[in-house]
């Protein structure tokens, strides 16, 4: 049925159509419905996209920081009325071809989204999600596993110390150890003193233990009702099918109800406030230049769609790029090293906000940040913005609105987040998806007078609802918190009567028994290998032939042209090669060809959708000892702006200006701050990279370019003027060695028939590049070295990685190793590391291109136990402890990853990478056929051969606190960890 059938007033499966809105800029139609009995809201975006997304959401405003909404999000997915298994969510991950599955809790909502390209899969997953959210079992043991519990260190021995355990409890310990996360939570607490945003919906570790199981169940009863539900569907599947399934499986069981979940506007402060908070740093760390300062203002109500758009534009003009006046003033002041995390305009809360500030400040300079921000805003309010800057910022807004994204998550999810704030709080799903009328009005207002200056005056200079937050390092804070927690647990233990002790022991035994109980998954729907497409589908086919190193790929890019290019990095002398990631990071942020860095930033904003450079590795398909290092350039622009895009690329590649040492110093500080922030959120990746660097030469290069050693290298460059001068010379030498027309290969992606707008400026770009004599250096070979690395870092939870060497992509055993990794993750590590161990995640992965097999844990309270689990998992696989169903589910999981859809630009970039690597469609099909042919004996054999027999040749790397590492060395029966500080 077409969207025209859904005329306002028509009814389907108990729903009435409220409105139908064409979205020509998105090639889609939005249909807005309301369930007639329960009042459930439903928005459907009808498109030709096969990657269908469904999401079920609830407004869930917490009244405290116990994490009730977050823990409920976890426990709803622990079994339901129709699917009474312990973990249907994770079970379905391996029983489907989903392209996305998750659940997420924000400050005032909880959403459960999933996506799939398979129609039956969508129906299966919708059944699981509907039953989980509306009819969960919410068993007490699930609350104890997912939320929090008291348990003896040895659960069966009351003489051992009492501990707090729980997946969310450990997750939030890790999250709140990140100063960037803490900054956001504390700013929200100060900026919203009277509404739900004052509380930490994820849960404060000190408050989580106060939540009871009964309170969790009451929260579900209060808020998980259709009257408080927001349904979202997207894609090419018929809407009628979604409506009928939701009606039959959920809505017909409910009647009307009044749910009190609406969030009032925040009460305005009468005067600005300053708040000082602290965060823990390790005792060995210097506290100098570790202070965060952020200034936040409460701005307009979310119901005002025009004001939201105006503030979004103003935010971009003030801090959107290095040319923006507030961005420049803050960075050039040298009061800090980088903009504070989370700067910008935030329009997802009921009352919106703008925040800006610095990280990496000294205690002395922290007091100067707020006056600088206010003085800069006053100057901008006086002077305004140039018409060119305004036009550039509007161009970027329009570009972002038009571009179809979705490489890391479904494009539909970005549309949902764009509309969510006004939809939840104002029943307005449309304004976030339509720029048209508001943008036209915005242009008129700007042309008529000092509109933007007045906006600054009203919302920033004259607005008393302003909070200045200073987040300062405290070397003793963690020790005090841990001592207080230990004392509290000792007090609780001392006060436990014998009966209560036995209750804890019995509860622990019951939880363990439940975790180990074999699950009957027969109630869960599943796909089979028959649902897996036998042949790979090419979504960005090559148009014509490759000429002069240029390939054209066809994709529905919505009027945008994308370019991907590779320079040969092996032309760069080995001594300079470690600096290549810095060359890539700095190049788009400096001056070039007579333009200052400010002018370059303005050109990038006004003329493109972005330009970037990155270090990449093309792994050899036949050998783990060979690889091709490349410097990848990426760019995108609307088709009428292709000439400007390639002129910019030519300026940056042929005439970069590294002579501004002050600018280089500022940029290095930003890079360092970003790397340090990422350790807490991606510690497992850093640990794995450090381990892998001792196994293959390509992994060693990856670690040098994107691991802990890169952070250490950046720190070493933050020194004297002489150091910066040498660094500038090295960057210039890299340019002279790297930029070479003869080694450059290019792939451009656009719609068929649109390449004429690209080819001429692309040709002129290539003509500008120098032709250099052939030259390259061969990296030295690497013999695998077993290591046990301990990286000391300020974290209360651990990141554990063990990495083994596998085989190159074309080796027949690669298929079995891929399936083994999926099976170990889903059928063993999840239970042992997450459910039993309390870590936020336990994972296994096999990368067919790098040939490396990894077992990982994320935000893990354990260390040595986790390494024992990794070995036990390998033994389990080698002994054939898995079922035939486990093998089939692993196969589905592998193909779900293999066939995951990409954005149009991402499709072209992927095909370009395949072409560069020699990864032909024929080779990819052979790999696909091998996956489908893997047997049980194959899995047992590769587990024995690669994981068990080579266990002593594997590499182990752990990120943990120094105290944890020292304790592990004292307890381990293996070789001790070599400890180094990050």
- Summarised one tens digit per residue, pLDDT across range 520-562 is 888 999 999 999 999 998 889 999 888 889 999 999 999 999 9
Q: How confident is the model at residue 775 (pLDDT cuts 50, 70, 90)?
A: confident
pLDDT band at 407 (very low <50, low <70, confident <90, very high): confident
Q: 399-414: b or e for each residue (b if 16 or more CB lie within 10 Å)?
A: bebbbbbbeebbbbbe
pLDDT at 465: 98
- DSSP sequence for 55-84: EEEEE---SSSS-HHHHHHHHHTS-BSS--
pLDDT at 409: 87
3-state helix, strand, coil in the chain (%, to 5): 50, 20, 30
Using the predicted structure, report yes or no on whether residue 902 has a pLDDT greater than 70.
Answer: yes
Q: Is 845 helix (H, G, I), strand (E, B) or coil?
A: strand
d(CA 393, CA 827): 49
Respond yes or no: is residue 888 known to be catalytic: no
Q: Which two tokens stand for residue 836?
A: 């039993």
> pLDDT at residue 236 above 60?
yes
- For 578-606, the pLDDT digits (tens) are 999 999 999 999 999 999 999 999 999 99
What's the Cα-to-Cα distance from 368 to each of 9, 296, 353, 371, 443, rounded to whole Å? 59, 16, 22, 6, 35
- For the cut 80, the answer to whether the pLDDT of residue 287 exceeds it is no
Q: At 601, list the tokens.
A: 């930033």
For the segment 456-470, the average pLDDT, to the nearest whole number, is: 98
CA–CA separation, 504 vs 511, rounded Å?
10
Query: What is the residue-wise DSSP string for 522-564?
Result: TTS----GGGS-SSPPPSSPBPS--BTTEEEEE---SSEEEEE
The answer to whether the beta carbons of residues 803 and 916 sit under 8 Å apart is no
pLDDT digit string, tens, across residues 16-43: 999 999 999 889 999 999 999 999 999 9
> What does the mean pLDDT of the chain come to?
95
Residue 437: what pLDDT?
A: 86
pLDDT surpasses 60 at 2: no
Contacts of 926 (CB under 8 A, 6+ apart): 810
| Structure token digits, residue 49 | 């996209």
Angle value at C-alpha 688, between 685 and 690, nearest 5 degrees: 110
Residue that has been written with the tokens 């009819």 in this structure: 135
Q: Identify the weakest region by mean pLDDT among 470-484, 614-628, 722-736.
A: 470-484
Residue 759 has pLDDT above 80, yes or no: yes
**What is the pairing mode between strands 52-59 and 229-235?**
antiparallel
Sheet holding 788-792, edge to edge: 841-847, 852-860, 798-805, 955-960, 788-792, 978-981
The DSSP code for 8 is: T
Copy the structure tokens of residue 289.
């230049």
Helix (H) or strand (E) segment spanning residue 312: helix 305-319
The share of the chain scoring above pLDDT 90, in percent, equals 90
Q: How many Cβ atoms are within 10 Å of 100's Cβ, its own excluded?
A: 19
Arithmetic mean of pLDDT, 692-715: 96
Task: Give mean pLDDT, residues 403-415.
Answer: 91
3-state secondary structure 238-280: CHHHHHHHHHHHCHHHCCCCCCCCCCCCCCCCCCCEEEEEEEE
Tell me the pLDDT tens digit for each residue of 653-671. 999 999 999 999 999 999 9
Of the candidates 707, 600, 754, the residue with the CA atom closest to the CA atom of residue 663? 600
**CA triple 738-744-748, angle to 5 deg:** 135
Q: Which residue has the tokens 């379905």?
A: 92
Q: Which residues of 577-589 are buried (b: 16+ CB within 10 A; e: fewer)?
A: bbbbbbbbbbbbb
pLDDT of amino acid 177: 82
Beta strands in 828-897 (DSSP E): 841-847, 852-860
Give residue 397's pLDDT band: very low, low, confident or very high (50, 70, 90). Answer: very high
- Partners of 802 in beta bridges: 855, 956
Whether the CB-CB separation of 54 and 113 falls below 8 Å is answered with yes
Token pair 């006056």: residue: 371
Residue 343's SS3 state is: coil
Residue 720 pLDDT > 90: no
Task: Please check whether residue 152 is in contact with residue 555, taking contact to mean a CB–CB distance below 8 angstroms.
Answer: no
Tell me the Cα Rg of the chain. 28
In this predicted structure, the answer to whether residue 3 has a pLDDT above a threshold of 70 is no
Q: How far is CA 951 from CA 304, 782, 797, 946, 968, in A?
A: 60, 18, 25, 8, 19
Let me know if 416 is exposed, middle or buried by CB neighbors in 10 A (0-12, 13-18, 19+).
Answer: buried
Residue 488 has pLDDT above 70, yes or no: yes
Q: Is 237 left (phi over 0), alpha (psi -120 to 50) or beta?
A: beta
| Cβ atoms 1, 189 nearer than 8 A | no
Catalytic residue among 73, 171, 266, 703: 73
Sign of the CA dihedral running 400, 405, 408, 414: positive
Q: What is the mean pLDDT of residues 157-183?
A: 92
- How is residue 829 written in tokens? 């590590």
In this prediction, residue 284 carries a pLDDT of: 62
**What is the structure's pLDDT at 4?**
63
The pLDDT of residue 23: 94
Q: Please give the Cα distance from 205 to 169 (Å, whole number).
A: 6
d(CA 551, CA 195): 55
């Amino acid at each position: 049925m077409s969207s025209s059938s859904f005329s306002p007033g028509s009814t389907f499966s108990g729903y009435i159509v409220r409105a139908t809105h064409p979205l020509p800029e998105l090639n889609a139609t939005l249909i807005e419905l309301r369930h007639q009995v329960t009042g459930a809201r439903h928005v459907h975006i009808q498109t030709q996209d096969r990657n269908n997304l469904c999401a079920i959401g609830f407004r869930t405003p917490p009244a405290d920081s116990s994490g009730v909404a977050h823990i409920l999000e976890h426990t709803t997915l622990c079994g339901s009325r129709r699917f009474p298994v312990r973990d249907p969510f994770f079970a379905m991950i391996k029983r489907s071809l989903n392209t996305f599955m998750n659940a997420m809790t924000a400050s005032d909502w909880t959403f459960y989204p999933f996506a799939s390209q398979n129609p039956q899969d969508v129906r299966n997953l919708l059944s699981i999600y509907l039953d989980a959210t509306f009819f969960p079992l919410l068993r007490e043991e699930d609350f104890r596993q997912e939320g929090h519990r008291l348990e003896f260190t040895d659960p069966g021995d009351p003489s051992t110390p009492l501990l707090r355990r729980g997946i969310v409890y450990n997750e939030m310990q890790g999250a709140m150890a990140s100063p960037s996360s803490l900054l956001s939570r504390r700013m929200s607490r100060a900026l919203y003193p009277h509404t739900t945003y004052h509380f930490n919906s994820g849960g404060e570790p000190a408050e989580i233990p106060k939540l009871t199981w009964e309170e969790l169940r009451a929260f579900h009863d209060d808020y998980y009702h259709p009257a408080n539900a927001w349904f979202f569907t997207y894609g090419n599947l018929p809407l009628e099918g979604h409506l009928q399934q939701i009606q039959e499986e959920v809505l017909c069981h409910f009647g009307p109800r009044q749910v009190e979940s609406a969030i009032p506007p925040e009460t305005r402060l009468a005067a600005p406030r300053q708040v000082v908070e602290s965060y823990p740093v390790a005792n060995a760390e210097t506290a100098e230049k570790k202070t965060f300062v952020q200034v936040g203002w409460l701005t307009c109500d979310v119901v005002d769609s025009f004001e939201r758009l105006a503030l979004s534009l103003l935010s971009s003009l003030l801090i959107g790029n290095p040319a923006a006046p507030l961005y420049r003033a803050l960075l050039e002041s040298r009061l800090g090293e980088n903009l504070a995390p989370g700067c910008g305009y935030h329009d997802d809360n009921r009352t919106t906000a703008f925040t800006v500030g610095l990280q990496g400040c000294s205690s002395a300079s922290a007091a100067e940040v707020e006056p600088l921000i206010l003085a800069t805003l006053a100057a901008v309010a006086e002077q305004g913005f140039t018409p060119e800057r305004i036009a550039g910022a509007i161009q970027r807004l329009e570009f972002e609105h038009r571009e179809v994204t979705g490489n890391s998550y479904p494009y539909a999810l970005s549309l949902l987040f764009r509309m969510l704030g006004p939809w939840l709080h104002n029943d307005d799903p449309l304004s976030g998806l339509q720029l048209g009328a508001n943008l036209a009005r915005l242009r008129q207002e700007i042309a008529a007078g000092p509109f933007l200056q007045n906006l600054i005056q009203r919302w920033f200079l004259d607005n008393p609802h302003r909070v200045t937050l200073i987040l300062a390092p405290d070397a003793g804070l963690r020790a005090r918190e841990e001592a207080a927690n230990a004392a509290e647990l000792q007090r609780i233990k001392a006060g436990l009567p014998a009966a209560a002790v036995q209750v804890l022991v019995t509860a622990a035994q019951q939880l363990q028994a439940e975790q180990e109980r074999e699950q009957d998954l027969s109630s869960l729907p599943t796909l089979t290998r028959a649902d897996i497409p036998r042949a790979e589908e090419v979504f960005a086919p090559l148009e014509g032939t490759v000429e002069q190193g240029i390939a054209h790929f066809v994709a529905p890019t919505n009027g945008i042209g994308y370019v991907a290019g590779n320079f040969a990095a092996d032309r760069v002398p080995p001594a300079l090669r470690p600096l290549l990631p810095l060359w890539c990071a700095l190049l788009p942020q400096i001056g070039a060809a007579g333009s200052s860095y400010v002018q370059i930033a303005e050109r990038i904003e006004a003329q493109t959708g972005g330009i970037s450079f990155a270090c990449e590795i093309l792994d050899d398909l036949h050998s783990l000892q060979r690889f091709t290092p490349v410097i990848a350039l990426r760019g995108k622009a609307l088709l009428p702006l292709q000439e400007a895009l390639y002129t910019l690329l030519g300026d940056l590649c042929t005439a970069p200006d590294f002579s501004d040492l002050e600018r280089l110093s500022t940029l290095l500080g930003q890079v360092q701050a970003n790397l340090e922030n990422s350790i807490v959120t991606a510690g497992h990746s850093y640990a794995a990279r450090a381990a892998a660097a001792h196994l293959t030469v390509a992994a060693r290069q990856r670690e040098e370019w994107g691991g802990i050693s890169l952070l250490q290298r950046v720190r070493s460059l933050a020194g004297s003027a002489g150091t910066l001068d040498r660094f500038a010379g090295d960057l210039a030498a890299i340019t002279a060695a790297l930029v070479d027309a003869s080694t450059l290969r290019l792939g451009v992606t656009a719609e068929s028939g649109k390449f004429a707008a690209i080819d001429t400026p692309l040709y002129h770009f290539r003509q500008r590049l120098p032709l250099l004599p052939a030259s390259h250096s061969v990296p030295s070979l690497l013999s695998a070295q077993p290591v046990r690395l301990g990286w000391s870092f300020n974290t209360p939870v651990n990141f554990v990685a063990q990495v083994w060497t596998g085989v190159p992509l074309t080796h027949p055993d690669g298929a079995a190793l891929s399936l083994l990794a999926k099976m170990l993750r889903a059928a063993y590590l999840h239970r042992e590391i997450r459910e039993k161990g309390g870590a936020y995640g336990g994972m296994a992965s096999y990368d067919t291109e790098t040939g490396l097999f990894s077992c990982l844990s994320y935000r893990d309270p354990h260390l040595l136990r986790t390494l024992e689990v990794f070995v036990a998992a390998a033994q389990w696989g080698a002994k054939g402890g898995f079922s035939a169903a486990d093998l089939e589910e692993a196969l589905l999981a592998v193909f779900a990853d293999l066939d995951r859809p990409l954005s149009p630009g991402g499709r072209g970039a992927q095909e370009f990478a395949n072409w560069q690597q020699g990864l032909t469609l024929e080779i990819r099909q052979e790999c696909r056929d091998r996956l489908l042919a893997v047997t049980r004996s194959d899995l047992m054999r590769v587990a024995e051969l690669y994981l068990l027999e080579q266990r002593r040749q594997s590499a182990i790397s752990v990120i943990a606190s120094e105290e944890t590492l020292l304790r592990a060395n004292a307890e381990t029966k293996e070789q001790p960890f070599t400890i180094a500080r990050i």
